[in-house]
Structure 1
Amino acid sequence: MFDITHFVRTLAIWAIPVLFAITVHEVAHGWVAWKRGDPTAMLMGRLTLNPVKHIDPFGTIILPGILLLFHSPFLFGYAKPVPVNFSGLKKPKTDMVWVAIAGPAANLLMAIFWTAILWLGGHLPGTLAYVATPMQLMGEAGIIINVILIIFNLIPIPPLDGGRVAVGLLPASASIALSRVEPYGFIILIVLLFTGILWNVLGPLFLWVYHFFLAVGAG
């Protein structure tokens, strides 16, 4: 049975962490691309923290909404990828690595930020106790979504960030072979996800990193 109270409460806790996790991730890609010679994202107005500019109807709205309706313990989503013209970069093969790694690096910084929010919520004076629980819940949500995005995006399968890093670092023959996987990358990921292989492989790593940030924030 649909619980509107649970839906609204969960939405209030997760909306800001999810929106900023995926927005800052994409802005980081575009900003580094701009600094390395490709102004495409900047010229298209994508170097903004306004979430509206980055919303993907399915990844930002429908998918998180479905997870909410089915009482998922955490939310997941994604934004529209910022456009990057890799041939416009100063050193395309090397700069591709920096552009790709910028997204997960931004999520790492946000995980640290939400850890600080979690810690602050637990150390507020008694007069501010009424905001402590919301801060702690939002801090935990921020840690979860950003750790998920870090680990997921570092999978070395194009077009994920880890795949682009691998393409940029591997020798020419291996790089070309891996880049040919890109049209099938999301199909491979969907198969790995629904067969449970993805969680079996990455689940322990996610839990270790998540509990590390949680322990710091609860300290």
Structure 2
Amino acid sequence: MENFLAYSLQDLPYVIVTLLIAFTIHELAHAWVALLFGDDTAKNEGRITFNPLKHIDPIGFIFVIIAGFGWAKPTPVNTYKMKHRRVGSVVVSLAGPVSNLLLAFVGMGFYFLFLQMDIGYSQIILHFLNLFVSLNLILFIFNLLPLPPLDGYQILSEFLPLKWRLKVQAYENYALLFFLILVITPLSRYTISPIFNTLIPWITSEMAGFYYYIFQI
């Protein structure tokens, strides 16, 4: 059975807990920031909540476990309700990935805290926190890729001239297919994987450096 999963059976409980938290906070961040800019669409659909059931897409969740990538329920956003439509759209799109970066940062803090403590099950906790940080950094970087349907594409589209945006929108369905090919085929080793392999160690190192200073290790 383990051969059909993206993660080992031993890590699966940690992955599930992490994704429930990461997906929930990600989509909640979109909804909450949209409300700050005047769009109550997500609020009216009950998406400003810490209840994972409101944010988790069962199929997308299973895909993460099996294929290593997946999705939550998209947060409904109506930019035309916003006070500052373009700025609001960009900030709302950024809110989700940034929430994952903040979760990774907090997780790293707890990792260093438990590293200093001699308590039972500390190795289990440290292993969970290591996965928690890594998965949230993956979600942070992954969602900023400028490909539909990711947040990075929504951000990029707001900076494109209108005529270019309309041209790109006409090819969104093909772009989605291109995105899937990049993610689930060996091409990912030469396209997306190098981005992760470069950015994740760098971000992890910077966060660790901060906590080394804080904890005076």
Pairwise TM-score range, normalised by the shorter structure = 0.7 to 0.9
Confirm or deny that 1:142 pairs with 2:135: no
Partners in 2 of 1:35 and 1:211 — Cα distance?
A: 33
- Following superposition, the deviation at residue 29 of structure 1 comes to 0.8
Distance change >3 Å, CA 209–CA 135, structure 1 → 2 = farther
Aligned residues: 205
Partners in 2 of 1:108 and 1:15 — Cα distance?
A: 18
Please give the per-residue CA displacement for 1:189-213, whole angstroms capped at 9, x wherever unaligned.
1111233333322323312333245
1:33-48 correspondence to structure 2 within 5 Å: 33-48=34-49
Question: Are the counterparts in 2 of residues 121 and 131 from structure 1 also a CA contact under 8 Å?
Answer: no
Structure 1: tracts of 5 or more residues without a match: 68-74
Alignment equivalent of 2:75, drawn from 58, 64, 82: 82
Distance change >3 Å, CA 200–CA 117, structure 1 → 2 = farther
Distance change >3 Å, CA 213–CA 123, structure 1 → 2 = farther
Higher relative contact order (CA 8 A, sep 6+): 1
- Following superposition, the deviation at residue 104 of structure 1 comes to 0.8
Moved more, 44-53 or 112-121: 112-121
Structure 1 residue aligned with 2:53: 52
The CA RMSD over aligned residues, in Å, is: 2.3
Identical amino acids, percent of aligned pairs: 34
Please give the per-residue CA displacement for 1:120-148, whole angstroms capped at 9, x wherever unaligned.
23211x3x1x2311221111111221111
1:42-191 correspondence to structure 2 within 5 Å: 42-60=43-61, 62-66=62-66, 75-124=68-117, 126=118, 128=119, 130-191=120-181
Q: What is the TM-score of this pair, normalised by structure 1? A: 0.83
Structure 1 residue aligned with 2:215: none
Structure 2: tracts of 5 or more residues without a match: 213-217
Question: Are the counterparts in 1 of residues 23 and 56 from structure 2 also a CA contact under 8 Å?
Answer: no
Q: What is the TM-score of this pair, normalised by structure 2? A: 0.84
Distance change >3 Å, CA 2–CA 145, structure 1 → 2 = closer
Distance change >3 Å, CA 151–CA 181, structure 1 → 2 = farther
Partners in 2 of 1:188 and 1:140 — Cα distance?
A: 31
